[in-house]
Structure 1
Amino acid sequence: MTIDDLPIRDDLRGTSPYGAPQLEVAVRLNTNEHAFAVPDEVVDAIAKAVQAELRDLNRYPDRDAAALRADLADYLGHGLTAANLWAANGSNEVQQQLLQAFGGPGRTALGFGPSYSMHPILAAGTGTRWIGALRDPDFGLTPADAVAQVEQHRPDLVFLCSPNNPTGTALDPAVIDAVLAVAPGMVLVDEAYFEYARPGTRSALGLLPGHPRLVVTRTMSKAFGFAGGRLGYLAADPAVVDAVQLVRLPYHLSALTQAAARAALAHRDALLATVDAIKEQRDRIVAELRARGFRVADSDANFVLFEVGGDQRTVWRRLLDNGVLVRDVGLSGWLRVTAGTPAETDAFLGALS
């Protein structure tokens, strides 16, 4: 028996699930995890918060995650309230719910590649036709090019990634403004890496007033170092939150996840204290690679995309043989490396030599 022997949907035949290699190597810099472990004080706080929930696990959790949404609104600021926030098990689930509510059979979603490879997978899973629009050869995106492609295809959802994955570059705010002006449906701005952005980078959160079809998604997996906790969220007009609740599973966010996430948010200063250290290593990688003659994309994230000048699969394997795992994102001639600790940066640069 193989998957081809099963009566799966025809549009899923021949496709592959999302996933990065999970290999036991000395230095893992392939999945953009925050490099620093959760501080002891936060570990203790999360443990106490989870412990307090254990006796009542015979009861369902708060279906609306009201307290968590209020905490997330407080973190984001911008005048947001709990009514503007929605949370789920990672920003992938949030985006899947948005596609369930606003996409589906007979509808389309558009994104500008190369970008986050999960977006078209989520679209396929919800029966939404994916339109792969393109960035410039240097991975940039101008307002005029974005508008032209949106007007050509008239998608029901537009995905914008800022900072973009895998290139790392934040969008010019003028691109978001221009797309909002012409998009016929929903506009989703994925800001998973925003906390790593360089000073002066504008968040799309400031555009929410007056744009009821704009959605900004964020995650605690990256800068908060909460990848194992699985907590993503969106900020939008309250009507969007109401729409998403039409398709969410009942009690989708466990009491343990809610408690752990709230404890982490209460200690956000301690968790975000190492963001600057990650940004320092990112900028170090960019400067060092450029000094060696590599072509490198500008990065506002916790990773760097660089051109290897040949078959990226060969370089990926050679780095792995030297104990360093980076990411082959399927972009011919390019690899992506996560910015880690100073020691991990040393290991990467040494292995690349």
Structure 2
Amino acid sequence: MLNGHGDDLYKSGNKIKANFSTNVWYDGDSDIIRSVLKTQIDTIFHYPEPSAESFVNEVAAFHGVTPQNVIAGNGATELFYLIAHAFEGAKTLLPIPSFREYEDACTLYRHNILFSRIELFEPEAADLMFICNPNNPNGYIWTREHIERILRYYPDMTLVVDESFINFAPTAEPSEPLLSRYPNLLMVHSMTKSFAIPGLRLGYMLGNEALIERIKAFKFPWSVNSLAIEVGKFLMKNGKYLLPDTFRLLKRKEAFVQHLDEINGFLPLNSGTSFFLVHTKYNVKELKQYLIDKHGILIREASNFRGLDEHYFRINTLSEEKNRMLVEALKNLEFKV
């Protein structure tokens, strides 16, 4: 299993001035979250609800389902491991490159994993399949029509749709309208990315009651802490005011990509969201360390995404000032291939 799946800011201390390595919304209103935490700080002196029941109720109300259709998790990652555990030994399809925790979770629970390049992907009969929409790390967008076709043609296969980055892609269609028609669909949402709270660890899953009940059997109590529960409840009621201005963000990304594309040795790849892959002639491990040491810039080395190698890195769109920092640093590299 991986240690932090790429965001290793914690290793760099105070060196980092611009962190491009994480896909978290960089400009969230942290003061609002701080105020919620301050008012709820005394909750840490008591055990949290065993299954984050009050948060689950808010999620259910928000999505117009029953609490029996919802599981809360310690981030989306706990939910992926719960699914893998519930389907232990399954035949599982994984398009690549994609979020590595799907593979790690399935490996832990001895799945028979079949891989296929995402741009060439054709489903086949299996027990389980994971997709990320939009996809991490390359921003590929699965159409709702494509997702529904998989659900319809393979009713005995459970399809997990991870929508952790759905709020960063205006052209991505949520799969929620399909939930009532397809009992083989599971949807996973992370609160981490859109609301910039990765340290709180909070996510949730929606699905058919029987499928949710099957997965709940493997969940241990108190995995979601009291502060995360209270912040989650606040965000389910008020979070729409804190979401990224996606169109503005993607307009900034387009300018960022254009400047990077003009630098010799760097090729930004097409993406439907604010983060994207860059292919380079340089060894990214060396490039990453150079950028940390010389400029205080952190990028996401992408070689641990299956299907990519040491010539790919992923970056997120930040402020115009920080985007310029990276562009200038790459324009003026002081080491050779």
TM-score range, shorter chain: 0.7 to 0.9
Q: How many residues align?
A: 318
- Residue 308 (structure 1) aligned to one of 280, 287, 303: 280
User: Secondary structure at 2:224's aligned position in 1?
Assistant: coil
CA contact (8 A) 2:5 2:100 kept: no
Quote the Cα distance in structure 2 between the aligned partners of 1:207 and 1:222: 23
Find the aligned partners of 1:259 and 1:41 in 2 and give their Cα distance: 13
2:52 to 56, 61, 65: 65
Provide the TM-score with structure 2 as the length reference. Answer: 0.85
The CA distance in 1 between the partners of 2:146 and 2:99, in whole Å, is 18
Q: Does 1:295 align with 2:295?
A: no
Paired with 2:195 and 2:51, the residues of 1 have a C-alpha distance of: 22
What is the distance in 2 between the residues matched to 1:275 and 1:223? 10
Match of 1:187 among 151, 154, 159: 159
2:136 aligned counterpart, secondary structure: coil
User: Any unmatched runs of 5+ in structure 1?
Assistant: 1-14
Counterpart of 2:335 in structure 1 is none
d(CA) in 2 for partners of 1:134, 1:225:
30
Distance 1:315 1:42, change over 3 A: closer
The structural deviation recorded for 1:171 is: 1.2
Contact 1:73 1:81 in 2 (8 A): yes
Structure 2 counterpart of 1:66, one-letter code? E
What is the match of residue 214 of structure 1? 185
8 Å CA contact 1:84, 1:241 repeated in 2: yes
Identity of aligned residues (%): 20
Cα 1:297–1:81 change in 2 (3 A) is: farther
- Aligned equivalents of 1:263, 1:174: Cα separation in 2: 33
State the secondary structure of the residue aligned to 1:253: coil
Q: Which amino acid aligns with 1:35?
A: Y
Structure 1 residues 95 and 346 mapped into 2: Cα distance closer, same or farther (>3 Å)? same
**Equivalent of 1:121, from 89, 104, 107?**
104
> Retained in 1: the 8 A contact 2:28–2:244?
no
CA RMSD of aligned residues (A): 2.3
Whether contact under 8 Å (1:50, 1:260) holds in the other structure is no
Choose which of 269, 279, 293 in structure 1 pairs with 2:250: 279
Aligned-residue offset at 1:37 = 4.9
Cα distance, 1:216 vs structure 2: 0.9
Structure 2, unmatched stretches of 5+, are: 332-337
Query: For 2:142 and 2:270, how far apart are their aligned partners in 1?
Result: 11
1:155-213 deviations in whole A, cap 9, x for unaligned? 22111111111101211333212221333321101111000012x42111121121101
Q: State the secondary structure of the residue aligned to 1:69.
A: helix
